[in-house]
Amino acid sequence: MESQIITIKQLPIIEERLQLIKAEIDAKTQHVLALDCNDATVKAIKSLRADLNKDFSELEEKRKEVKRAVMSPYERFEEVYTECVTNIYKQTDAILKGRIAIVENAIKANKEKEIRAYYDEYAESLGIDFVPYEKSGITVTLSASTKKLREQAAAYLDRIADELKLIGTQPQDLQPEILVEYKRTVNVAYSIQTVIERKKAIEEEAERTRQQAEQQTIYEAAEARVDEAVESYGEEQQEAIAPPTVAEAQEQPAKLYRVAFAVNGTLEEIKALKNFLVNGGYKYEQL
The pLDDT tens digits for 171-223 are 999 999 999 999 999 999 999 999 999 999 998 999 999 988 888 888 888 77
Query: pLDDT tens digits for the chain (287 residues)?
Result: 455 676 667 766 776 788 888 989 999 999 999 999 999 999 999 999 999 999 999 999 998 988 888 898 889 999 999 999 999 999 999 999 999 999 999 999 999 999 999 999 999 999 999 999 999 999 999 999 999 999 999 999 999 999 999 999 999 999 999 999 999 999 999 999 999 999 999 989 999 999 888 888 888 887 787 777 767 666 665 554 455 555 555 555 666 666 666 777 777 777 787 778 787 777 667 66
Chain-centre distance for alpha carbon 45:
64
Q: Please tell me the pTM assigned to this model.
A: 0.55
pLDDT digit string (tens) for 245-255?
555 555 556 66
DSSP code string of 77-113: HHHHHIIIIIHHHHHHHHHHHHHHHHHHHHHHHHHHH
Sorted by where each begins, the domain ranges of the chain are 16-101, 180-234+251-287
Q: What is the Cα 82 distance to its own chain's centre?
A: 49
Give the rounded distance of the alpha carbon of 105 from its chain centre.
35
